[in-house]
Amino acid sequence: MKKRTFIFFLIIALSNWKLVSQTVEENRAEIDEIKQQLLEQNLNFIFQDDLNKTQYELLKKKHKQKIDAELKLLNSDGIVASGELYLKINSIFDKIVKANPTIPQNTRLVLYRSNDFNAFTMGDNIIFIHIGLLNDLKNESQIALVISHEIAHNVLNHVEESMVESVIRETDKSLEKDISVILRTEYGKVSALNSLMLPRILESREKSRRHEFDADSLGLIFLKNTQFQLSDALSMFHAMEKRTKHISDSIDYKKCFHLSSIASIEALDAEYERESSLGTFIKDESILSYLATHPYDRERFYKLAKILNVDTTFTNYIPKYDENYKLIEEQIGIEMIQNSWRNKNFSEVIYHSMRHLQKHTDSKEAKEHLMLAFKALGFMKKKRIAGKYLQLQNPKFPEDFDRICAITYLISPADCNALFTIYQADVAILVSPKSEMLAIVQQVDQEDYESLEITWKENKEIIYQSNYSFILEEIEKYLYTNKKLTFLKPKHK
């Protein structure tokens, strides 16, 4: 019976590995196509008639730096350009492009593996959408508004315009002369430099805010030509405001940390304090608005609502889930957990796994991530090498995340093992390569070095290529240094 079970899971693991390999190949092919398009459209640099030779050369240099930065992004393992999640988001993007002939039809969309709430374009017909932004949205219309806004930046040539203005500022001989005169004076240098530079800084910030409003307005026109619901789209500003104010949907962390059955963790939770030693800082938007590079969220909402001639009551646009978005929410949640592993951050892994489990109570994958996280964290805490992989508290974090940061930093190795055992009761066997990584941690914990040598040699390569490689590297360094296990050859001693 055990042999049959092993063979069954081996077949499943091999099938999953084949699917992953196929997805990686598809992803790379799509990215290569986008890179080729990027290189072709920037092959012939267009001369700006209103720039002199020095300015032209500087602009050309900035263009090359921009292309190099885009290629570096596209060459990283953070780009998602294939798979079910990508296809779903790209279908929203395609509807916008096809409904608006004025949009360059070679505009492309990619997803970026980051937990940050962000989307951007560098002005070369490529739109980057962060997974972290998708995680905070609730319907397709919200995504459509974000995509339309970024396409508008591209169509309005905002990046190019900003680069030209930067070149003109940097080659302004009169400004250079004024700065030189100030630096030669004996007194009042700082005040004089402030008086000279502050108006230019404020002008630049104001222009940046105007770009955002212009992209909002044109993006709204693009959106109106589609079938997406405008009222749902406007609810996106609620998600933006929550991020700005460091608020997130609450999770039942007490249930996930099993406080009712683990008294030591319950005691840590009771001692939790939200504020830092310096207190809580609140940004005064009325005073600082002229210093911001982006307009404040409600200000943008009001302008768009007025353009549409609809209700301008912000609280009437509470985000609501649509059925289509629910189909992709689970995939986004798993991506957030994987991104946290890439960040080498146990606090993030535990938080996003718990958040995912809150919405999908039967998620075997989320429980697998928690099992590996608690077992590996327990080992690292015992060996006093966990600190750099934990997130410290920060008053800017949403309270639930801040609390989880506090608990994960303070829990003991015994607490970690207790939580591992609880989740292990629900998940007997983990999917590769989490299964192999967990086996290595357990063998090291039990000092079963004979079995470890076999497991390590058979599985090290697959783990090195996974998001869990940092755990293996820490184990290798510890055993090589402290136990003199010479069969281990750590990547980083």
Q: In the chain, what are the helix, strand and coil shares in percent, each to the nearest 5? A: 65, 5, 30
pLDDT of residue 287: 45
CA atoms of 34 and 24, how far apart (whole Å): 15
What is the pTM assigned to this prediction?
0.86
- Lowest-confidence region among 15-24, 69-78, 312-321: 15-24
> What is the number of residues in the chain?
493
Query: In whole angstroms, how far apart are CA 268 and each of 43, 383, 403, 411, 413?
Result: 60, 21, 10, 8, 14
The tens digit of pLDDT for each residue in 200-247 reads: 666 677 777 889 999 999 999 999 999 999 999 999 999 999 988 888
- Lowest-confidence region among 186-195, 434-443, 468-477: 186-195
Mean pLDDT of 393-414: 94
Q: In the structure, what pLDDT confidence band is assigned to residue 20 with cuts at 50, 70 and 90? A: low
CA atoms of 474 and 318, how far apart (whole Å): 45
Percent over 90 (pLDDT), the chain: 63
Please list the residues that pair with 120 across neighbouring strands.
128
Does residue 105 carry a pLDDT above 80? yes
CA atoms of 429 and 35, how far apart (whole Å): 40
pLDDT of residue 350: 97
Does residue 5 carry a pLDDT above 70? no
What backbone torsions phi and psi does residue 468 show, to the nearest 5 degrees?
-105, 10
pLDDT of residue 140: 95
What backbone torsions phi and psi does residue 73 show, to the nearest 5 degrees?
-60, -45
Write 459-463 long-range contacts (CB < 8 A, 24+): 459/433, 462/432, 462/433, 462/436, 463/433, 463/436, 463/437
**What does the mean pLDDT of the chain come to?**
87
pLDDT of residue 1: 38
